[in-house]
Amino acid sequence: MNRTRPRPIVLTIAGFDPSGGAGISADIRTIESFGCTAVAAITSITFQNSSRFAGAAHQSAASLRAQIESIVDEHEMAAVKIGMLPTAEIVREVARLIREMNLPAPVVDPVMESTSGGQLMSDDAFEVFVTELLSLARVVTPNIPEAEKLAGINIGDEQGMRQAAARIRELGARAVLVKGGHLKTQKSEVRSKQSERDPTIDLLDDGGEITVFRGEWIETRNVRGTGCILSAAIASCLAQHVPLEKSVQMAKRFVSDAIRYAPRLQPEPVTLELTELGREN
């Protein structure tokens, strides 16, 4: 990376997790790890840790606008990552700000529930998310339960992931990355030795062009916020003009290392390559 050039600035719009495992804190660590400068606007202050979600204090649309206006007045954004959007008011304001300020098409992580069990997006916020924000995204990155809710179908295998991605694109999304870590065959409490060797599957549908990413399953209970980390990593790569497919590839490698080396969280994303990558039309 050329250190004589200004570091790209990546804006994360997300919730604050006081335990540091997810949300804004995870985003900032990730963005800085990719050689970018992180700026942030908080949508909600949550009260949670690794095992318990106790509630949240959501920001108003005016508060969120004031945060983002102060940042944009001083800096030009190279990329935007969007995480927790708890209320319909917040979703509408984010969509409005992206349009008004001509911000880069964001990487949108449609977080609906925390690892510790808290609801992070209200039902009416979800409806506004679908109608107003999906079409503005460069890529949306749902896990299996989120993709099922967005697409309105059950997903049990790779074919289901393909169908869900296509349906989400029909809702207006330009590209969809369906994360397969929640497939029932991959999250069973009792895993056979054979199933532990089965790869994880993530599927990118970018305008109808399908790329399937396969990686090893890494068993751990030490990492939260992997969805936050992945989407922030993709945004950081896009900020440096890396194509979307390669951005996803690099982000997945970063997340794999974050899991493998937890709790140190010291992966080196830029120099690593994904071992298996296949494209199908």
Q: What is the pLDDT of residue 197?
A: 47
Bond into 263 cis (ω within 30)? yes
Confirm if 250 and 233 have CB atoms less than 8 A apart. yes
Q: Which domain holds residue 217?
A: 9-280
pLDDT (average), residues 217-225:
60
Q: Is the confidence at residue 194, as pLDDT, over 90? A: no
Q: Is 133 inside any structural domain?
A: yes
**The domain spanning residue 213 has which CATH number?**
3.40.1190.20
The CA dihedral of 174, 28, 252, 126, to the nearest 10 degrees, is -40
Q: Is 2 inside any structural domain?
A: no
pTM, two decimal places: 0.86
pLDDT (average), residues 68-87:
97
3-state secondary structure 204-233: EEECCEEEEEEECCCCCCCCCCHHHHHHHH
Q: How many domains does the chain have?
A: 1
Q: Is 259 inside any structural domain?
A: yes
Confirm if 250 and 239 have CB atoms less than 8 A apart. no
- Summarised one tens digit per residue, pLDDT across range 227-281 is 999 999 999 999 999 999 999 999 999 988 877 665 544 445 444 344 344 455 4
Confirm if 143 and 186 have CB atoms less than 8 A apart. no
CA nearest 243: which of 217, 281, 204? Answer: 204
Q: Is the confidence at residue 121, as pLDDT, over 60? A: yes
Kindly give the pairing relationship between strand 37-48 and strand 9-16: parallel
Q: Is 3 inside any structural domain?
A: no
Q: Is 29 inside any structural domain?
A: yes
- Summarised one tens digit per residue, pLDDT across range 125-147 is 999 999 999 999 999 999 999 99
Share of the chain above pLDDT 90, in %: 67
Q: Is 186 inside any structural domain?
A: yes
CA 184/CA 105 separation, integer angstroms: 32
Q: Is 188 inside any structural domain?
A: yes
Q: Is 176 inside any structural domain?
A: yes
Query: Could you tell me the pLDDT band of residue 224, with boundaries at 50, 70 and 90?
Result: low
pLDDT (average), residues 24-34:
95
